[in-house]
Amino acid sequence: MSDYKFLNAVGNISDEYLLEALSYRERKKMVKYFSKAAAAILLAIIITGLSLNVFMPIYARNLPFVGNAFAFIQDRLHTGGAYSNYAFKIGDKVTDNGITMTMSEAYCDGVNLYVSFVIESETAFDTWTTDEYIKSQLNYDGTMYIESSEGRKPLNDSGLTGLEGKFTDAFTFVGVKSFSLSGAVFPDKFMLDMKINSVSLITGKADTEYVKGDWHFAPSINVNSGDVVTYEINKEAKGHTIDKIVVTPIYVTIYTSYPDIYGDTTSYEVRTYTDGYADEDISSQGEYGRTSGITQIPRIRVNNDLHIYVVDSPTLGEDGLACGTQKVSEENAIVSADITIDK
């Protein structure tokens, strides 16, 4: 059984993509000045384009994001991270039912697989619903597998619901999704088999309208394990063990194991703290089974020192659960570990 908890953080918007981040109202306030010569050249291009009928549809005007989606969104995600430094371009495109999906790039560090998408709609996303919707996510439904010499394995759709990213305008969403093998390591080379059969806005209502279609992607992926460091911990107490920590450019992943005493609940917690933030549990998300678990923290949230505490939630009581400071966690830890992470 999985249990997820999330933090919210706002990344900085780079100057390179500032124009795309402007709202419609802000764009209307902007005025561009052209010289007469520039205006004449522009007019000539328009006339030529109309005569040759070579202009792209309006909804496709953001195609320059393809191959650069990670660079656009990485500073806007709650996870942050240097995706674009390690990813490779895919560029596979599928259109169905008025929706064009382009798998822009992929990056697999051996622990997680990150895939970026550019999703374009022929009709404005605002027309899909009359309700308020989350502007940083776009939901989808489908199946995800990898195929390799080790066989076919299902992927765990981890993190926030759907794609995390940004609506760049009324017709285009640029986002990323992370996947895992539930703690297992990815093979060095594999084929991603991803089929999406619907896409929808996230409004908080169960009856949200969605668009059905058939978008199938099957690119070959090579693992890029550059700058991935594993710290073997193996600290144990009362059957609870902090096994190891894997540090990638995107996430710090903590692997833990514990005795089969919780059943289908997640009564134990992994709490994490970093230097300078003793009163804040920086754990972001986790996946916990009957006897093992993984806890993930965005790499940008971890400073030099990382402090890990495994606590049994029921023993803390309601006040203890509400107070997640490092002092409380340290005093009630079943097992703990301190580690300095190399920059």
- How far apart are alpha carbons 20 and 38 in whole angstroms? 23
What is this structure's pTM? Answer: 0.73
pLDDT of 68: 81
pLDDT of 287: 81
- How far apart are alpha carbons 228 and 62 in whole angstroms? 33
Under DSSP, is residue 332 helix (H, G, I), strand (E, B) or coil?
Answer: coil
The amino acid at residue 88 is F
The single residue listed with the structure tokens 């495109």 is 93
Q: Quick check: 77 and 11 in contact, CB under 8 A? A: yes
Q: Which two tokens stand for residue 240?
A: 């609870």
pLDDT of 79: 65
Per-position DSSP letters for 237-255, written without gaps between them: ETTEEEEEEEE-SSEEEEE
- How far apart are alpha carbons 294 and 99 in whole angstroms? 35
pLDDT of 17: 30
Q: Quick check: 128 and 199 in contact, CB under 8 A? A: no
The amino acid at residue 8 is N
pLDDT of 197: 96
pLDDT in tens, the chain (343 residues): 333 222 222 222 233 332 233 232 232 223 222 333 333 333 333 333 333 333 222 233 334 567 788 888 777 776 666 788 888 999 999 999 999 999 999 999 999 999 999 999 999 998 988 888 888 999 999 999 999 999 999 998 877 789 999 999 999 999 999 999 987 899 999 999 999 999 999 887 765 678 999 999 999 999 998 889 999 999 999 999 999 999 998 889 999 998 888 777 667 889 999 998 888 999 877 888 888 888 988 888 899 999 999 988 766 655 555 567 898 889 889 999 999 988 6
- How far apart are alpha carbons 134 and 175 in whole angstroms? 13
- 24 beta partners: none
- How far apart are alpha carbons 1 and 273 in whole angstroms? 25
- How far apart are alpha carbons 139 and 200 in whole angstroms? 5
- How far apart are alpha carbons 179 and 158 in whole angstroms? 6
